[in-house]
Chain A
Amino acid sequence: MPSVDKAIEEITHVRTDLEAALDPAEPDGVYRDSRECAALALLSADTKLLLSPPTPRPKKG
């Protein structure tokens, strides 16, 4: 009975995937890019200057 076999196979797959989901290995790390650094700077009141334009300087002459 193929449908029963298929059902058993699907349930077995679900149980296998479940074991993996409940005891996951730590994924490889991916380190920050500049977009995230900018977002972090936006969140921190102390680092607003990082995103400010340069201070205007008086023109010569």
Chain B
Amino acid sequence: MEQSGTSALLQGAVQDLATDVVSALRGGDHVRMSDTATADDPEGSFALAAVRVLGADLLLPHVLFPTPPAPGALAAFRNTVEAFPPRADAAPTVRWSHWAMRRTLVRFDSAPAGPPGADDLTEPDAAWLDAATWQVLTHQLAVLAPLAVPGDDCAVTRAARRRPVDVARGFVRAVRRRDWQQAAGAGRWLTLLEAVPDTLGLEAGLDFVELMGGNDPRVALQVQAARVMRAAGALV
């Protein structure tokens, strides 16, 4: 499918951000961002949109290696949450990815006025996942991979916990379809789930996904996140 110029630029900006996050996950470094972007001009809107696409994973290194994020990165994150609230008719993944960002902001933001919406972290509805086929479930979970964080509970996490075999089947399907981003996201979820079949060979599977799709920083991010969580014994 042909992409618009803006779309290609946005994807490039997201990949640049993802590269920074992978680097931070590998080396425990900070994610660096300018805090001057606003949604009122094209350049700033573009930068914040890239943060919105990457979502809560922008600050993942600071969640997994508990360290405070750099002020610039935190400010850009906060500006993004404020600039791109989900519309009333937004898809569930859009609502949940925004909710994940707000939850992450509450974790780190100690500004005197508090983060936007800190007093109302009501979860969006997750019933659509219970009704989803295993293929759709895996695709949606992969899109919402930033919610796969050890120790953080929400309705999406609970839906994934109820269907570990379905997620495992979805992981294998994604590998066979060469959908490395979906496979990496599903693999990250599987590191957090109990009762994943041993026959899946998750560790070798993640190695394979990285080998085949690791040139894409968004794939590398999910694989590296899964590795860090596994190394920390993240299994729920």
Question: How far, in angstroms, from A43 to B14 measured CA to CA in the complex?
Answer: 30
Interface string of B87-110 (1 = CB under 8 A from A): 000110110010000000000000
Which residues A1-36 have CB closer than 8 A to chain B?
7, 10-11, 13-24, 26-27, 29-32, 36
- Chain A residues, Cβ within 8 Å of B97: 22
The answer to whether A13 and B4 touch across the interface, beta carbons within 8 angstroms, is: yes
Question: How far, in angstroms, from A22 to B177 measured CA to CA in the complex?
Answer: 21
Judge if A51 is at the interface, Cβ distance under 8 Å: no
Give chain B's interface residue range (CB within 8 Å of chain A).
20 to 34
Contact of A40 among B139, B143, B208 (CB under 8 A): B208
Give chain A's interface residue range (CB within 8 Å of chain B).
20 to 34
- Chain A residues, Cβ within 8 Å of B204: 43-44
CB within 8 Å of A: which residues of B?
A: 4, 6-7, 10-11, 14, 39, 41-42, 45-46, 49, 52-53, 84, 90-91, 93-94, 97, 135, 139, 143, 176-179, 182, 204, 207-208, 211-212
